[in-house]
Each structure stands twice: as C-alpha cells, then as structure tokens.
Amino acid sequence: MSFTHLDDRGQARMVDVTAKQPTIRSATASGTVRCGPDVVRALRDGAVPKGDVLAVARIAGIAAAKRTPELLPLAHVIGVHGAAVDLAVTDDGVAITATVRTADRTGVEMEALTAVAVAGLAVVDMVKGLDKSVSLADVRLERKTGGKSGDWTRPE
C-alpha cells in the first residue's frame, strides 16, 4: 500500500493536487459535548454566565473550518464555500453537526471535523466554570460526497 502523504524516502509531504479538476464536494462530521444535568439545565434556560453558548460555538466552528490549513500542516488551502454548524442541547449535553462544502481539488473532511472539534471546545470553554468534568467526545466523519473516492456514509 502506498501513502500519498509520504515521499519515496518515507518523509511527510503535501500531496500535489495541481492537475486535479475542481469538483463539488461536501463532508459532514459530528461530535458531542457531554455535560451533567446542571449544565444542561443552564443551557436550556439561557443561564450560562458567559452568554449564548450555542451562538459562540457556531461561529467558532465556522471560523475553524476556514482556518483548517493553519492547524493541520498537510491540509490544503481550499475555498470553503459553505459551512453550517448546528448545535442542539440534549439530555446528555450538546450534539454538534457540521457540514462543509467546496468546489475545489480536494475534500473538506478535515474542515468538517475541525469545525466540530472547535465548536465543541468553545462549548467546553463557555461552561467549564459550571462543571469542570464536561468532555468533548465522538468527533467523527459521518459522510462525504464528491472527489475521486466518491460518496461515503458511516455505516450504522
């Protein structure tokens, strides 16, 4: 098996996508911030002292999707043409879903995952004063479309 991010000496390199044609691609990722009942109550009541947790996390996730290549050294700089970060308070915490779209030469899986991770970290930052035991969990790719490898959906 050959790895595209390694050169013939086994050293990391950025894959050259210059010759590839731009295509429409999307990726959706998800994750959860696990919180105790007191934090869930504060989120539902809008009583978190730092303010609107979900709004801050949504913007943090969108901003993170656009800055992914600054965080991941082998990620390509691509046009993030659409980014949606959705957060919902559940009985166990906050469910996060991010979908990122582009018309570019490489996919947006890392951008979607980064959006979820940073949105989750923003939630943690906003509620950690209420409960130090909150945690970010299960950040994972749910589906992707487009590109040479085609469409993929996480099996049930």
Question: Per the annotation, does 110 bind a ligand?
Answer: yes
CA dist 64 and 134 (Å) reads 21
124, 94 contact by CB (below 8 A): no
Q: Active-site residue 86, yes or no?
A: no
Element (H, E) at 66: helix 53-66
Question: Per the annotation, does 111 bind a ligand?
Answer: yes
Measured from the Cβ of residue 143, the count of other Cβ atoms closer than 10 Å reads 16
The one catalytic residue in 86, 92, 125, 131 is: 125
Question: Per the annotation, does 5 bind a ligand?
Answer: no
Token output for 131:
């409960």
Residue type, 20: K
The residues assigned a catalytic role are: 125
**What residues are designated binding site?**
74-76, 110-111
**What residues are designated binding site for substrate?**
74-76, 110-111
